[in-house]
Amino acid sequence: MAGHSHWANIQRTKSKQDAKRGKIFSKWAKLIMSAARSGGGDPSMNLPLRYAIERAKADNMPKDSIERAIRKGAGEDGETRLEEVQYEAFGPGGVAFMIETLTDNRNRTAPNLRNILSKKGGNLAESGAVSWMFQRKAVFAIPKEGLDEDAVMELALDAGADDVTADEEKIFGVEADPGQYLEVKEAIEKQGWEMLDASIRYIPDNTLEVDGDLGTKVLELVELIEEDEDVQEVHHNAEFAEG
């Protein structure tokens, strides 16, 4: 992994999204639907679904809303079956984007994204034009305070992580293959360590530094994309300059 931390960029682009608490249930519903679609509606047989439900419950999502999201994702009760579609794009300054969506109509989602991107000087790209710049990784961010770096590294690597880094943000960053997500997460939880982030993301092999007006345009574009009802996650290779 590159020496710099991905947490600062994740935190920078998550902050506005997380501040919109009125939309948080919709985000968890989409995550639950995606997990149910991929592995079925039984959380005892579908670990990603189990964890999606736990994350929703932690934000006090009502039980009936959780159950409805499971049914919708699994295509039960006559609900339209949702499809996971990934879009690749370029934004202002050549910033690369991987956009994960959950949609019941590609013919709506693609034009919507194309329109959003065009507002900030971006465009949808052909399949493969962007994805080669990223690796799919399970990522975890753990505050350094009170923790020994060697102990964190030993625990994470024993649980199947690929790499552990420490940075100036006072964060330990842990990366693993997506297939090791649950094992690493459970190992961290058993220690009682706080996690600022535990997710599966597209991590860029190299970043593109943006600042000033360009940095502002990229952040605005991220926010616009996230506001689309079909979008689940947005990943990019921008590294925002300090200040």
Range of the domain at 69: 15-74
Query: Does residue 6 lie within any of the structural domains?
Result: no
Q: Do residues 142 and 192 share a domain?
A: yes
pLDDT for the residue numbered 8? 63
Same domain, 175 and 161: yes
Q: Can you give the pLDDT at residue 76? A: 62
Instruction: Quote the pLDDT of residue 26.
Output: 83
Number of domains the chain is built from? 3
Inside any domain, residue 102: yes
Question: What is residue 121's predicted lDDT score, i.e. its pLDDT?
Answer: 94
Both 120 and 233 in one domain: the answer is yes
- On whether both 20 and 67 belong to a single domain, the answer is yes
70/92 same-domain check: no
Are 168 and 230 contacting, i.e. CB atoms less than 8 angstroms apart?
Answer: no
Mean pLDDT per 10-residue section of the chain, whose length is 243 residues: 54 55 77 85 88 84 92 71 89 96 91 97 96 95 90 94 85 92 91 88 94 92 91 91 68
